[in-house]
Amino acid sequence: MDDGEKKQVRDDFAEAVNMPPAAIEKFLDTEESKLVGQKKGGGESVGHASGRRIVEIKRTKQADLTDDDYAHMKKVVSYVRRHLAQGGPKDDAEHSDWRYSLMNWGHDPLKD
């Protein structure tokens, strides 16, 4: 991946992840966070694990980001865009699994 592609991934990631690391960590500690998402083998959900990884990436200096970090950033952007395009529930989006799932991935759809 060349520098231009890396910049695009960072820009897309910054747009998709609209929650600061501390807010993501706080949300990951809630029951709402732990109840949503696909779980592999009955353990932690994919989104919950992704949220922990997002916090690490957001706290990593740009120069120290690895190819694996960039791959995860692209995965996050794809997930957020796909779920936003699906749209949330018409009633009570604030307390919906749709919102909670997105928040596991660092995006609060109710945040401006």
Give the number of other CB atoms < 10 A from CB of residue 72.
Answer: 19
The two three-digit tokens of residue 109, written as one number: 């759809």
Question: Could you list the pLDDT tens digit for every one of the 112 residues in the chain?
Answer: 899 999 999 999 999 999 999 999 999 999 999 989 888 777 889 999 999 999 999 999 999 999 999 999 999 999 999 999 999 998 999 999 999 999 999 999 999 6
Query: In the beta sheet, which residues pair with residue 39?
Result: 45
Helix or strand (DSSP H, E) at 99: helix 97-104
User: At CA 22, angle to CA 34 and CA 77, rounded to 5?
Assistant: 70
**What pLDDT does residue 37 have?**
85
